[in-house]
A and B are shown apart, each in its own frame.
Chain A
Amino acid sequence: MFPDWMNDAPNPYSSVLVANRGEIAVRILQSARELGIKGISIYSDSDANSLHVELSEEAIHLPGKLLSETYLNIDAIIEAAKISGAEAIHPGYGFLSERPDFAKAVVDSNLVWIGPSPKSIEIMGDKISARNKMLDSGVPIIPGEEIFIEQDEDYIGPLAAAAARVGYPLLLKASAGGGGKGMRAVYEPKNLKSQYEAASREASTAFGDGTVYVERLLTKARHVEIQILCDQKGNSVHLNERDCSLQRRHQKVIEEAPCLALSEQIRRLMGESAIKAANSVNYVGAGTVEFLLSSKGQFFFLEMNTRLQVEHPITELTTGIDIVQKQFEIAAGFDLNLNQADIRINGHSIEARIYAENPSKGFLPATGTLSKWRFPSGPGIRLDSGFREGDEVTIDFDPMLAKLIVHAPNRKLALRKLDTALSDFIILGVTTNLGFLRDIIKQEKFYTGKITTDYLDNVSESIFIPPEVDPSHIIAIASAAERLGVDRQLLGQFSGEMVDDYSGHIGDPFRTLSKKLP
C-alpha cells in the first residue's frame, strides 16, 4: 500500500531500507514513519539493540565482525532488501552513500535509489574528473593534482615533484577519502614522507584505496558549503550556505547558518556556482557543494558530497525545508516545487557535534556506558542522536554521540541557547567534549564570528581550560552520594517503600517531610 501522497508519483514506493546506522538512520527512519513509508533497517551484531533498529518496522541482521561484512557489504544489503521486500534504499551518509557501484547495484535490482545517479556519484567522487567538470562549467577551483602510486613503488620522487608543482603549504588527501580521514597538511617538504604515509594508511583502512591527491592549502580560509536540491526534471534550487569552519583535523565540530562572512552578492554567486556544479553532472536529489572562502572573499570549489550531509539540520531550521522529506519526494519522481526566490533565511542555526572524546588528553576517543543521558529540550532545540541512556559506546564506530542543534532569531541568541543547552546536557559514564564546546563558543574569535578552518589546530589548548570548581563542593557531593547510596538506585532497587540504609526513612524523605523543590 502506497501512502496517499505517493498516489500520483511517477515511481511510487511503499517501503525503504536504510543502509546505515546511528543518528542518521534514526533521522531517516523518523521521516519515513511521518511519510507513511515502511522503514526497514539493517544491523550488525553490535547494533542488535540499537535505537535505529527499534525505530524500524523490520530489521535485517547482517552477520560478521567487519564493516566489509555488514554496513559496507553491497551484496548482503541488496539481499536484505529482497528478503524484506524493500522497494527503495536510502544510503544516509558515510558507508556506501558515495559508492557508485552500490547505487548501480540498487538500480539494477529494480529498487528506487534515494540519491543521484551512479554516474553523478562517480564523477564527483573522483577528484580529477570533478575538477575537470568544474573547469568546463566555470566553477573556480584550487590548484592541485592527483598522484597514482602503486603499492611498494618508490613514491618519493613523483610525490615530491607534484608537491613542488602545487606549492607549500599543501594538503594530502586520499582520493576516495572524506570526513577528515586520510587527510594531512604538509607545511614543509621534510614532513612530506611521514604525512603521506599516515594519510595513505588511514585512507586504506577506512576506504580501501591508497591514492593521494595533492592540493594547495589555503590558509585563513573558511569552509562554506551550499546545500542544493535537484529533481529528476532538471529543476534545481540551493538552500543557501553553511559555515563549517570550526574543524579539528578536518573533522567538523560546530557548523552554523548563515555564514557571517558572506555578503548577499557572494552568497548569490556561490549559490549559482553550486547549481552549475550540480547541473554539470545532471545531479538528482540532495547534495552539498563545498567551497573554501578566502579572506579576500574569493571562493574555490572543494568537492561535492553526493549525499545527505551530517550538518543538514541547520539548513532545515533556517529554511523550513525538510531535506530528507524532499529526498523521498524527488526519488518518487515528484517535481521540486520550490522557486529560488521563495528560499529565505529565517534566523540563525548552530549545530554542535557531541563526540565521545577526551579534550584534555589530546582528544583521544572515549568509550564506556552512557549511565546517564538526559538531553536538553525546549523551543529551538533539536537533538539528533542514535544513542539512549544505558547504551554502550565502543570503538567500533564513529565517536559522534549526538548533534545538538539550536535555532534562534539571531546569532547572539542562538549562541546563548546553545550554551544553555550544552550545560543542560547530562552525559555521565563516557567522557565527551561538552565542556570543550562551551569553552569554544565563549572564545572571542568564535563569538565575533572570525573562525577560519585552521583555528582549532593552531590555537593553544591552554585557552580551553574549564572554569575552576571548588574541590570541596564536588568531594562533598561524591561523599554524600556514597553515603546515600545513589548507585544502588541505579541497579533497579528503587522502590517507594524502600528503607534508606542511613536515614532509616521509608521511601522518599521529602515526601514524609512534605518539602518541595524551590
Chain B
Amino acid sequence: MEWSIGEDNIRYTAELADNEGKLTLTSIKKEGEEIIISDVSISHDLNFNRLMVDIDGIVRLVHIAKVKDSYWIHLDGRIHVINSHEIGYSNQKQNEGSLIAPMPGIIIDILVKEGQRVRKGQNLMIMEAMKMEHKIQSPKDGEVISISNEIGQKVDMGVILVEIAD
C-alpha cells in the first residue's frame, strides 16, 4: 500500500512491526527513499474505536475514519486526510490543462469561447453551489480547446469543465 497526504502527490510507504496487536513503526519511505522517523507505536482502543498512538513516549488518542480510499485522522487538534493507493499504480496524471469541477453545482455562466486565448487566472466559468457563486479560473495561459458544458447544466464533482492547450 502506498500513501499520499491531502492534495499532495508525494508517495509514501510504511512498515510496521506487529507485537501482540501493538504496531511499531520501523520504516517510512518517501518516493522510495528512507526518511527519518520518530518512535511511533500504535494500538487499537476497541471500546471507542480509536487509536492509541505513542509518539516519542507521549500517547495521543487519535480518532480516525475511513472514507472510500482515504483515512481521515484527527491528531493533536488537526484533521488530516491520507489517501491509499495500490503499489505501482501511478497517479493518472491529470492533464494539466483540464479544469475539473471542484464541487457539485450548476454552471451559471460561461465567459469564454472555444478557440479563445486566455490568461492565467482569467475567469472562465461561474458555478453555483450552496447558493454562492464560485469563479472557475484558468490555471495557465493558453487556448480554450473545449468546453464540455452548457449554462444551466448540473455537474458532479470531478467532471471536466474546460480544456486549455498551450
- Residues of A participating in the B interface, judged by any CB pair closer than 8 Å: 180-181, 198, 201-202, 205-206, 249, 360-362, 364-369, 371-372, 374, 395, 397-399, 422-424, 426-429, 431-432, 434-435, 438, 466-467, 469-484, 486-487, 489-490, 494, 500, 502-503, 505, 507-510, 513, 517-518
Q: Are B66 and A202 in contact (CB under 8 A)?
A: no
**What string of 1s and 0s marks CB contacts (under 8 Å) between B26-69 and chain A?**
00101000011110101111110101110100010111111100
Question: In the complex, are the beta carbons of B44 and A434 less than 8 A apart?
Answer: no
Interface residues of B (CB under 8 A from A): 1, 3, 5, 7, 12, 14, 16, 18, 20-23, 25, 28, 30, 35-38, 40, 42-47, 49, 51-53, 55, 59, 61-67, 71-82, 84, 102-105, 108-109, 126, 128-134, 157
* B133 contacts across to A, CB distance below 8 A: 198, 201-202
Interchain nearest-CB distance for B112 vs A (Å): 14
CA distance A467 to B78 in the complex (A): 9
Chain A contacts for B108, CB-based, 8 A? 201, 205
A364 & B102 in contact (Cβ 8 Å cutoff): yes
Of the candidates B18, B40, B73, the one whose C-beta lies within 8 Å of that of A503 is: B18
Question: Once the chains bind, are A474 and B5 in contact (CB under 8 Å)?
Answer: yes
Contacts known (A181-B132, A395-B105); A477 close to B65, Cβ less than 8 A = no
| Among B12, B42, B72, contact of A429 (Cβ-Cβ < 8 Å) | B72
A399 to B46, CA, bound (A): 33
18 A-B interface contacts by CB (under 8 A)? A202-B131, A202-B132, A205-B108, A361-B102, A364-B134, A397-B130, A399-B130, A426-B79, A471-B5, A475-B14, A477-B51, A478-B14, A479-B1, A479-B3, A479-B14, A481-B64, A482-B1, A486-B65
**Interface residues of B, dominant DSSP:** strand
Contacts of B104 in A (CB 8 A): 367, 395
Q: With contacts A397-B130, A486-B51, A486-B64 known, is A477 near B75, CB below 8 A?
A: yes
Known: A477-B40, A477-B71, A489-B49. 8 other contacts (CB 8 A): A367-B104, A372-B63, A428-B79, A472-B14, A476-B42, A478-B84, A480-B16, A487-B65
Q: Which of B3, B65, B134 contacts A475 (CB 8 A)?
A: B3
Please give, as numbers and ranges, the residues of chain A lying within 8 Å of B3 by CB-CB distance: 475, 478-479
Which among B30, B126, B157 is the interface contact of A198 at CB below 8 angstroms? B126
Q: What 3 A-B pairs have minimum CB-CB distances, sorted nearest first?
A: A423-B77, A487-B66, A503-B21
Docked Cα-Cα span, A372 to B62, in Å, equals: 12
Tell me the bound Cα distance from A360 to B81 in angstroms. 13
Report Cα–Cα, A486/B22, bound state, in Å.
14
Candidates A368, A428, A473, A484; contact of B23 at CB < 8 Å: A484
Chain A residues contacting B72 (CB-CB under 8 Å) are 371-372, 428-429
| A422 contact from B42, B64, B77, Cβ within 8 A | B77
Chain B residues whose C-beta falls within 8 Å of the C-beta of A478 in the assembled complex: 3, 14, 71, 73, 82, 84
- In the complex, what residues of A have CB within 8 A of residue B55's CB? 473
Q: Is the CB of B46 within 8 A of A473?
A: no
Give Cα A367 to B129, complex, Å.
11
Q: In the complex the two chains form, what is the Cα distance from A427 to B72 in whole Å? A: 9
Whether A489 lies near B46 (C-beta < 8 A) is: yes
Given contacts A361-B102, A423-B77, A479-B1, contact A484 B63 (CB under 8 A): no
A428 contacts B40, C-beta separation under 8 Å: no
Instruction: Indicate which residue in A198, A426, A434, A481 contacts B51 across the interface (CB closer than 8 Å).
Output: A481
| Smallest CB separation, A453 vs chain B (Å) | 18
* A202 / chain B contacts, CB cutoff of 8 Å: 128, 131-133
Q: How far is the CA of A205 from the CA of B131 in the complex (A)?
A: 8
